[in-house]
């Protein structure tokens, strides 16, 4: 307000002074001079404001002005500051959005109306082998050369998009070539957006594809394993129904039929065990398990099987079972017995008559405990070792069937070990035997005396 009064006085003083000196002519000349001076001052201040606006308000300090132009400058600064804050907020939102897209586990590629890459995240670059900077504005067909993808993209480009409400199934193709095994499998989909643009999504489905392959193999293996004894049983039944047999032949056929039925019972029992392991809660960390009792039960089963397998040979297995360990376990007694029994029974089945089998529990330096079964059998070639714990995987199928194995014992042992926080370790050498060890973590091991006192307390 004061500045406006001062401006008015400065504008009136020349008119008053001119009138006092030269009458009305002097007043007129004074008024014209004051007006010209005032407009010149306003023009000069206006140019300062324009110059400041043109040269970047964010980089240069504003001019120090008062009066009308100072007020204009103040409101301009406020408006510019508000717009700058709004722009900063939008930039931060865009940056956060781009960071979220970069963190997505799925690949994202933005394609323009011509099919050229406008942007892609790091996941898509890894999936397809792109370079985000080098391949910008490259046509997607030049970089993804799979014929199935080319046909899919062409169909999408010619308007074969799914109808609203219907799923876009996309396709599955092999990702960027790497040395990884199994190879990368990608599920890709194209979605139109904007004016002719497309969003290419990619998702790593390698694990799903592998699980589906394992499911198919599992069903095929189960069907095959059950079909074989059923075929044998059906053949013997038909023979006994159609041919006259003496008592010796009948007893022989019945014995073979009994063996095949036991084989199917063992297979079903192992399948049920695996199903129970996969669908039940993890074992308790407080349920006491006496490894000595499990060791004794496994020894009884092993000696019985060895006597049956070596009944026609003069040299049975040399089975050496160490004394019960001086510690207790926590977990599921039934699961641990199943795992231990499978390891011991496998050693008996695959070790020739007269061979040696050593069974023992021992503490390891890191505080964990190991149940180890060592045999002098034929051993296993190195290329088979990584797959031994897969369901129905056998090094020699004919020999495995002759021994009566189901092909699920090591899979059960591995599941039990993992459910107890441990692992299954396998070491073998052709011609020198094998060693299978069930290792449990220190948290599952307790000194017998201390554990007994804590349980009593």
Q: Render pLDDT for 2-36 as a digit per residue (tens, 0 to 9).
A: 455 555 555 555 555 555 655 566 666 666 666 66
Least confident of 111-120, 272-281, 329-338, 381-390: 272-281
pLDDT at 166: 40
pLDDT at 163: 44
Distance (Å, whole) CA 83 – CA 35: 36
pLDDT at 421: 94
pLDDT at 369: 94
pTM of the shown model: 0.58
Q: What is the mean pLDDT of the chain?
A: 80
417 confidence band (pLDDT: 50, 70, 90): very high
Q: Render pLDDT for 139-193 as a digit per residue (tens, 0 to 9).
A: 998 888 888 888 888 887 766 554 443 445 678 888 876 666 678 889 999 998 8
Q: Is the pLDDT of residue 366 over 60?
A: yes
Q: Is the pLDDT of residue 363 over 60?
A: yes
Mean pLDDT of 221-236: 80
pLDDT at 28: 65
- CB-CB contact of 354 with 313 (8 Å): yes
Mean pLDDT of 417-429: 94
76 confidence band (pLDDT: 50, 70, 90): confident
pLDDT at 365: 93
320 confidence band (pLDDT: 50, 70, 90): very high
pLDDT at 224: 74
pLDDT at 164: 43
Count Cβ atoms below 10 Å from residue 15 Cβ, excluding itself: 19
Distance (Å, whole) CA 107 – CA 102: 9
pLDDT at 58: 57
Q: Render pLDDT for 328-354 as a digit per residue (tens, 0 to 9).
A: 999 999 999 999 999 999 999 889 888
Residues 6+ apart with CB under 8 A from 395: 380, 381, 384, 388
Percent of the chain with pLDDT over 90: 25
Name which residue leads in pLDDT, 331 or 451. Answer: 331
Q: Give the number of C-alpha atoms closer than 13 A to the C-alpha of residue 53, restricted to the C-beta side.
A: 14
pLDDT at 235: 86
443 confidence band (pLDDT: 50, 70, 90): very high
Name which residue leads in pLDDT, 201 or 402. Answer: 201
104 confidence band (pLDDT: 50, 70, 90): confident
pLDDT at 18: 55
Name which residue leads in pLDDT, 276 or 279. Answer: 276
Mean pLDDT of 397-414: 70
pLDDT at 33: 65
pLDDT at 109: 93
Name which residue leads in pLDDT, 127 or 60. Answer: 127
Q: Is the pLDDT of residue 208 over 70?
A: yes
pLDDT at 274: 82
Distance (Å, whole) CA 188 – CA 170: 6
Give yes or no for a cis peptide into 79 (omega within 30° of 0). Answer: no
Name which residue leads in pLDDT, 96 or 456. Answer: 96
């Amino acid at each position: 307000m004061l500045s406006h009064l001062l401006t008015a006085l400065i504008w009136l003083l020349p008119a008053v002074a001119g009138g006092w000196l030269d009458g009305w002519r002097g007043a007129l000349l004074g008024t014209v001079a004051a007006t010209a001076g005032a407009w010149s001052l306003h023009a000069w201040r206006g140019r300062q404001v324009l110059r400041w606006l043109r040269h970047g308000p964010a980089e240069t300090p504003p001019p120090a002005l008062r009066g009308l132009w100072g007020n204009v400058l103040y409101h301009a600064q406020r408006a510019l500051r508000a717009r700058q804050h709004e722009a900063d907020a939008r930039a931060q939102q865009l940056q956060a959005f781009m960071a979220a897209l970069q963190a997505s586990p799925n690949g994202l590629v933005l394609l323009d109306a011509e099919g050229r890459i406008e942007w892609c995240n790091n996941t898509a670059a890894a999936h397809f082998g792109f370079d985000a900077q080098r391949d910008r504005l490259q046509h997607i067909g030049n970089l993804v050369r799979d014929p199935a993808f080319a046909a899919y993209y062409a169909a999408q480009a010619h308007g074969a998009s799914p109808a609203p409400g219907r799923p876009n199934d996309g396709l599955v193709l092999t990702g960027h070539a790497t040395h990884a095994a199994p190879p990368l499998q990608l599920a890709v989909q194209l979605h139109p957006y904007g004016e002719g643009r497309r969003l290419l999504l990619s998702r790593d489905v390698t694990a799903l594809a592998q699980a589906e392959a394992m499911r198919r193999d599992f069903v095929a293996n189960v069907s095959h394993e059950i079909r074989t004894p059923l075929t044998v049983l059906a053949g013997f039944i038909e023979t006994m129904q159609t041919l006259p047999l003496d008592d010796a032949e009948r007893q022989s056929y019945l014995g073979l039929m009994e063996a095949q039925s036991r084989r199917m019972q063992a297979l079903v029992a192992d399948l049920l065990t695996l199903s129970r392991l996969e669908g039940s809660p993890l074992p308790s960390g407080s349920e006491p398990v006496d490894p000595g009792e499990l060791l004794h039960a496994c020894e009884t089963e092993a000696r019985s099987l060895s006597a049956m397998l070596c009944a026609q040979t003069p040299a049975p297995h040399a089975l050496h079972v160490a004394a019960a360990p001086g510690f207790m376990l926590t977990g599921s007694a039934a699961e641990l017995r199943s795992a231990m029994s499978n390891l011991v029974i496998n050693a008996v089945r695959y070790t020739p008559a007269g061979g040696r089998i050593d069974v023992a529990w021992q503490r390891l330096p890191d505080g964990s405990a190991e149940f180890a079964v060592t045999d002098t059998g034929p051993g296993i070639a190195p290329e088979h070792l990584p797959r031994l714990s897969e369901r129905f995987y056998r090094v020699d199928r004919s020999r495995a069937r002759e021994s009566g194995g189901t092909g699920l014992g090591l899979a059960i042992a591995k599941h039990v070990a993992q459910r107890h926080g441990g692992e299954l370790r396998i070491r073998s050498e052709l011609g020198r035997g094998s060693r299978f060890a069930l290792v449990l973590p220190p948290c599952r091991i307790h000194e017998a005396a201390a554990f007994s006192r804590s349980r009593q307390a």
